Structure 1
């Protein structure tokens, strides 16, 4: 590793493996955002509602 040169991920893991194996996850790595989750849930509910509506119309015909 050169001084002033950012080491690669492989260099970091090879030189300090134990610290990286047991280190807590970085703060910037968050779980899925609530906005993405709410969008997915809304789309899922709309598709389910649409499907039930199609099935109800098919039964009535």
Structure 2
């Protein structure tokens, strides 16, 4: 294989498709971890709460 060979989009897609289709089941069906999602949700809620608090304080001034 020459060093200048760049795979086409179709070659990349087929390679990724084959890797996905023949991957072991846990890799295929595993979603994001619950801990990661709960941390993200907590951070999002806290930041939203802090923003509302800042807006409420700005209105009261």
Could you list the per-position Cα deviations for residues 14-52 of structure 1 after superposition, in whole angstroms to 9, with x for gaps in the alignment? Answer: 899879647774447611000000000000000000000
How does the TM-score come out when normalised to structure 2?
0.57
Tell me the TM-score normalised to structure 1 length.
Answer: 0.57
| Structure 2 unaligned regions, length at least 5 | none
Which structure 1 segments of 5+ residues have no match? none
Cα distance in 2 for residues equivalent to 1:36 and 1:43: 11
Q: How many residues end up aligned between the 2 structures?
A: 61
More helix by share: 2
Larger radius of gyration: 1
> Cα RMSD (Å) of the superposition?
6.1
* Moved >4 Å (runs of 4+): 1-29
